[in-house]
Amino acid sequence: MASHGRSNKRHLVFGLIAAGTVLGLAGIDLVLPAVPGLPKQLGGDAAGAQFVIAAFVAGAASGLLVFGSIGPRFGRRQTLSAALGAYAVLSLACALCSRLDVLVAVRFLQGMASSAPAVFAPALIRSLFDDTAATKAFGVLGSI
């Protein structure tokens, strides 16, 4: 019975890793339909509104480098948890932005935070499962 409980915990942790990994995609796909209306809502112009997406992507690219460097120093689990917490806070900050230029800056930071799961997922999955189960988990993660 104890083995079953440990298995459930592993699958729950894997589910959290997978959900976190989806943040990168959701951070673009969920915002894209709002881009044309941003200048009317927040000021600025259409070209500036495009930076909302570009800033997120640039932040995600930067985050891959940053988290790859700091993960070993501070611990993967702690750094991942902090990044997911930051993503939540930054998402709220995005919702409260009243200016387009501020939204672009916050989206850069949000993009950085969104990249942590992609950096840490492989090592965390390997630590959760044996080789066969890890291979299956990577297959599931890749299909998501």
Report the distance separating Cα 138 and Cα 128, nearest Å.
Answer: 12
Q: What are phi and psi of 122, to 5 degrees?
A: -60, -45
Q: What is the pLDDT of residue 5?
A: 63
DSSP character string of the chain: -HHHHHHHHHHHHHHHHHHHHHHHHHHHHTTGGGGGGHHHHHSS-HHHHHHHHHHHHHHHHHHHHHHHHHHHHH-HHHHHHHHHHHHHHHHHHHHH--SHHHHHHHHHHHHHHHTHHHHHHHHHHHHHS-HHHHHHHHHHHHH-
Name the more confident of 110 and 81.
110
pLDDT, mean of residues 69-83:
90
Question: What residue ranges define each of the domains in the chain, with the CATH number in brackets?
Answer: 2-143 (1.20.1250.20)
Measuring CA to CA, how many Å separate 47 from each of 25, 38, 41, 55, 97? Answer: 22, 10, 14, 13, 18
Could you tell me the pLDDT band of residue 1, with boundaries at 50, 70 and 90? very low
Do the Cβ atoms of 115 and 24 come closer than 8 Å? yes
Q: What is the pLDDT of residue 143?
A: 82
Percent of the chain's residues with pLDDT above 90: 55
Report the distance separating Cα 143 and Cα 49, nearest Å.
Answer: 31
pLDDT, mean of residues 127-140:
89
Q: Which amino acid type is present at position 123?
A: A
Q: What is the pLDDT of residue 25?
A: 76
Q: What would the pLDDT profile of 4-21 be if each residue is shown by its tens digit?
A: 566 788 888 888 888 888
pLDDT score of 67 more than 60 = yes
Q: What is the pLDDT of residue 98?
A: 95
Tokens standing for residue 92: 């709220």
**Residue-averaged pLDDT of the chain:** 89
Could you tell me the pLDDT band of residue 22, with boundaries at 50, 70 and 90? confident
